[in-house]
């Protein structure tokens, strides 16, 4: 497999070099941003528009001018063009082709040599690697269900905990092999310990397998039906996980109490949580939900960074179902990623849950080389909150009120 990856790196390097030549078919100029300008306040921009659109002195302007509309119209167009949120929910764009047609929507014939190389890769991926990986995946999941059910028959104690840990590690590592995941773990001395909470950035459902193949965790999530439900019920027999009914998920106090009870027992495994609540395309970290930071337990941050050249690990749930996504993963070259275990962090005196969550998020983004964004990942499926719109309305109303006060003051001085 390492030999194949070496050949793959050589091919992508040749493509990338060609893409930088102006006469090459793949050449395209690159710009770092769509709109570049100095940051200014709403009041300054409104005043500038009023100056350029009116011959009257600014101080004698009326409370409202029709030209003010242009500011909001322009900001709306700029937000659409330079949207830093929506693009986090689509696959990361590559600067060079990685010999997967799914990563190049503008794919066209380049050369006979590359076409032959792509054909050989297609044959290897779908004719050899995919059947082998599917077999390993069924083996890993089957063993996980069967062996955890057997371990669950044992009485609680050291033997059961020991066997449960070995079974989980073995089965997760088989599942990792099913993805041909090449993982590099850094700073293992900071690995999460019992009684703590492990928080990580979230790119894909396979994040769980990536982390669980290097250590055991207590999972948190909603109870599902079908095959996922069977796996959940078998896992909880071997070791305590925190599963919630659909009706319980929205009860924040119940969720917090269940998590708090778990971390207070130092004999139980650390809880694994992805505070973003949704999958982001591994270019940034979005807002962490504060719930897991209100408990008061020690937090163990983990940064996960995938190499998109070998396979895109991001799960666009609005575009692909779980089965379709896993098949795409298993038909990729490999899943290459790095995992960093950061030093444990605790809530400081005078720090609220939101501030603590932002501090942990910033540490993960800095270590993983990701963009730290304040936006809520829930915008992937929801609308912008009214509070954001009201904030802009309040800022504009302050400008109108201040203008009115200045006008009234001038009138009083003239009359006196």
* 3-class SS of residue 299: strand
pLDDT, position 6: 53
Residue 4 has a pLDDT of 46
Angle at 99 between CA 93 and CA 101, to 5 degrees: 70
pLDDT for 265: 83
For helices 226-238 and 158-178, what crossing angle results, to 10°?
A: 150
pLDDT of residue 9: 52
Q: Which residues make beta-bridge pairs with 183?
A: 337
d(C-alpha 297, C-alpha 288), whole Å: 16
Q: Which residue has the tokens 């497999």?
A: 1
Do 206 and 245 form a contact (C-beta atoms < 8 A)?
no
Neighbouring-strand partners of residue 304: 339
Q: Which helix (H) or strand (E) holds 324?
A: helix 322-330
| Residue 283 burial (CB count, 10 A) | 18
- Integer angstrom CA distances of residue 396 from 74, 98, 386, 389: 15, 48, 16, 11
| 305 within 8 A of 230, measured Cβ to Cβ | no
The pairing of strands 271-273 and 197-200 is parallel
Angle at the Cα of 184 from the Cα atoms of 219 and 366, rounded to 5 degrees: 80
* pLDDT score for 361: 93
The domain ranges of the chain are 112-380
225: three-class secondary structure by DSSP: coil
Q: What is the mean pLDDT of each run of 10 residues along the chain (416 residues)?
A: 50 45 41 49 67 53 62 69 62 60 55 78 86 92 91 88 91 90 91 90 90 89 78 85 71 78 85 88 86 86 88 79 84 88 90 90 92 75 69 73 54 50
Residue 339: its pLDDT value, please? 94
């Amino acid at each position: 497999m390492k030999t194949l990856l070496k050949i793959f790196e050589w091919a992508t390097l040749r493509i990338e070099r060609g893409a930088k030549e102006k006469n090459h078919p793949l050449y395209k100029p690159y710009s770092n941003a769509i709109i570049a300008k100095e940051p200014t306040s709403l009041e300054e921009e409104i005043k500038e528009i009023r100056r350029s659109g009116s011959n009257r002195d600014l101080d004698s302007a009326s409370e409202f001018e029709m030209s003010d509309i242009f500011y909001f119209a322009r900001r709306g167009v700029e937000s659409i063009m330079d949207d830093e949120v929506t693009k986090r929910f689509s696959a990361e764009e590559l600067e060079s082709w990685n010999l997967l047609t799914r990563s190049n929507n503008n794919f066209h014939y380049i050369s006979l040599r590359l076409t032959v190389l792509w054909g050989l890769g297609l044959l290897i991926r779908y004719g050899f690697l995919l059947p082998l990986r599917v077999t390993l995946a069924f083996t890993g999941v089957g063993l996980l269900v069967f062996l955890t059910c057997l371990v669950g028959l044992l009485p609680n104690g050291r033997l059961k905990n020991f066997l449960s840990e070995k079974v989980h590690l073995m089965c997760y590592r088989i599942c990792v092999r099913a993805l041909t995941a090449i993982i590099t773990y850094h700073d293992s001395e900071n690995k999460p310990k019992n009684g703590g909470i492990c928080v990580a950035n979230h790119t894909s459902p396979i994040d769980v397998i990536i982390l669980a193949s290097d250590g055991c965790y207590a999972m948190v999530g909603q109870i599902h039906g079908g095959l996922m439900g069977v796996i959940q019920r078998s896992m909880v027999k071997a070791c305590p996980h925190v599963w919630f009914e659909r009706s319980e998920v929205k009860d924040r106090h119940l969720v917090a109490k269940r998590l708090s009870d778990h971390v207070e027992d130092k004999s139980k495994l650390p809880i694994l949580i992805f505070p973003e609540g949704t999958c982001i395309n591994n270019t940034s970290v979005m807002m962490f939900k504060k719930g897991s930071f209100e408990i008061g337990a020690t937090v163990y941050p983990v940064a996960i960074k995938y190499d998109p050249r070998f396979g895109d690990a991001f799960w666009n749930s609005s575009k692909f179902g779980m089965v379709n996504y896993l098949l795409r993963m298993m038909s990729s070259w490999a899943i290459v990623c790095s995992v960093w275990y950061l030093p444990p962090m605790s809530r400081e005196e005078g720090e609220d849950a939101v501030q603590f969550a932002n501090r942990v998020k910033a540490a993960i983004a800095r270590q993983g080389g990701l963009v730290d964004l304040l936006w809520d990942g829930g915008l992937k499926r929801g609308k912008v909150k009214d509070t954001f719109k009201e904030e802009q309305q309040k800022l504009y109303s302050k400008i109108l009120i201040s203008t009115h006060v200045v006008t009234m003051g001038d009138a009083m001085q003239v009359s006196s």
